[in-house]
Structure 1
Amino acid sequence: MPLNYISCHAHLSEVSAPISSEAVRFGFILAALFLMWLIASMPLQYKVKVENIRDLLDRFNPTKAPEPVIVAVTHKCGLSKECPEDHFAFKIRSGAANVVGPKICFDGKNVMSTAMNNIGSGLNIVLLNGQTGEIIKTEVFNMYSGDVQPLLNFLKDIKSGQLILVASFDEIATKMTDEVREFFTSFGSSLIKSVKYRDNWVFVGAAGFKEKSPFEMYIKNDKDKNIYDGWPELLEMDGCIPMKT
């Protein structure tokens, strides 16, 4: 049975009339026109699918140059560039109104954040060894209804060479005495004396700092410009802190 089928097929091939090249070309033109009409009459969602198929076929086309693969490079604390070896990367974000808490990242590690459950209304402070980057302590001082004395004791104990990173949340000026402001000024702040009710403030300084700190931002509570009802927008600051030697 199989042999007979093969013989018959061969015989039919021999006696079939040859098809002219013009007929083949005409057939291809008709098929192309029909395909174009079919695609044009398709609903939009099917056209998208056709385009996706076309893109897929292009990927397998050996004559088409492959598209470059872009790999996102991440640096410590999400900085746009890598810090020098003798510097610490940091990023500080103040709170937003009294709802979104602040966040402090140092040397690639989150030190204070809502997720870590160690932030609160007032001044959120990280104290570090300026030479090794070791975290000495993290503290929150309520500057609206709290006692200011614990903050003064904390600031008095900061030793030369230690770094202090500060992020505001909610309200920080109600209990901000002149003595407190003088301490922050001695750490390099040039804006703390301007901070008022519900202003936002972020700061990096150090004990014994004899110059103005380059890492400080402040935004005033202004009812005509506030993004949040009664509060200004949050502040975000990052950079590279040189190690203390």
Structure 2
Amino acid sequence: MRCSATIRVVLVLCTLITTWYFAETMYPNKVDMKSLKRIFDNIAEEEPTKKKVEFSCGNEKPCPDGYFAFRIISGAGNVVGPSICFDNTIIMSSVKNNVGRGLNIALINASNGTLIKTGTFDMYFADVKPLLEFIKPVKDGTLVLVASYDDPGTNLNEEARSLFKEFGSIHAKKVNFRDAWIFVGGKGINAESSFEQYLQNNKETNKYDGWPEVLEVEGCIPKKSN
């Protein structure tokens, strides 16, 4: 019995030795798995991590030196308020609790980017007088950023429309009940603005029930030289 057990142990050892010998003979350049893992780990560590680059105001492209970045989003129906970002600072939004239905306007110094003041003007329930008192005194070198919410045009009279036209708007003359409108212009620019979007309230094409879809515009505004 003892002899039989000894023979079985010897056979197992012989089998293991033979297997090892042929493996070494047939695969002399085999790669140790632990070493292979370390190689892949090193490659992963050397691979640069690709991160999404975020530009001022969340814009898709950066602005060159000497320019201000901006982004304006109109209100969504009568539910979500508009947003105005300038030089990477949100200056008007629902979160800041300084927007309202009608026209939301920010006045900014075009030379240094300083916020002069903001205002919200109800164009449905209120008259146009407060709006005129806000925009008539605007001085040369002032940027005018406008975002609509709900109804920007019902009580917008010809005097107010003409003032926005002087700021560079090409759509102010036709803004009406529940239209969507966003605009960046300025006093004394003497040119039509490149940053304006307008969408008419049309029950056949409205995205929301009774209101057109949200508008959005972003870009770079050159600083005004003194």
Instruction: Identify whether the pair has TM-score above 0.5, normalized to the shorter chain.
Output: yes
Counterpart check, 1:198 vs 2:178:
yes
Cα RMSD, aligned residues only? 2.3
Aligned to 1:239: 219
Residue 183 of structure 1 and its aligned partner are, at CA, apart by 0.2
The superposition leaves residues 44-69 of structure 1 with CA deviations (integer Å, 9 ceiling, x where unpaired) of xxxxxxxxxxxxx9x94515853552
**SS of alignment partner, residue 62 of structure 1:** helix
1:89 to 66, 69, 77: 69
The superposition leaves residues 205-226 of structure 1 with CA deviations (integer Å, 9 ceiling, x where unpaired) of 0011211100100111111111
Alignment CA distance shift 1:233-1:15 (3 Å): closer
C-alpha separation between the residues in 1 aligned to 2:91 and 2:67? 17
Structure 2 gaps of 5+ residues are 1-7, 24-33
C-alpha separation between the residues in 2 aligned to 1:240 and 1:155? 23
**SS of alignment partner, residue 18 of structure 1:** helix
Deviates more, 1:217-226 or 1:12-21: 12-21
C-alpha separation between the residues in 1 aligned to 2:154 and 2:134? 18
Counterpart check, 1:124 vs 2:104:
yes
C-alpha separation between the residues in 2 aligned to 1:84 and 1:63? 40
Alignment CA distance shift 1:213-1:17 (3 Å): closer
Residue 16 of structure 1 and its aligned partner are, at CA, apart by 5.8
The superposition leaves residues 110-158 of structure 1 with CA deviations (integer Å, 9 ceiling, x where unpaired) of 0000000000000000001010100000100000011211111111110
Alignment of 1:115-154 (within 5 A): 115-154=95-134
Alignment CA distance shift 1:155-1:15 (3 Å): closer
TM-score by length of 1: 0.76
C-alpha separation between the residues in 1 aligned to 2:79 and 2:96? 16
C-alpha separation between the residues in 2 aligned to 1:133 and 1:13? 88
1:156 to 113, 136, 140: 136
C-alpha separation between the residues in 1 aligned to 2:56 and 2:79? 26
C-alpha separation between the residues in 2 aligned to 1:111 and 1:142? 19
Aligned to 1:21: 19
**SS of alignment partner, residue 145 of structure 1:** coil
C-alpha separation between the residues in 1 aligned to 2:135 and 2:96? 24
> Percent identity of the aligned residues?
46
**SS of alignment partner, residue 151 of structure 1:** helix
Counterpart check, 1:179 vs 2:159:
yes
Aligned to 2:91: 111
Q: What amino acid sits opposite 2:62 in the alignment?
A: E
Alignment CA distance shift 1:146-1:18 (3 Å): same
Alignment CA distance shift 1:174-1:61 (3 Å): same
Provide the aligned length of Structure 1 versus Structure 2: 201
C-alpha separation between the residues in 1 aligned to 2:180 and 2:87? 23
Structure 1 gaps of 5+ residues are 1-11, 26-56
The superposition leaves residues 148-184 of structure 1 with CA deviations (integer Å, 9 ceiling, x where unpaired) of 1111111111000000100000001111101110000
Aligned to 1:207: 187
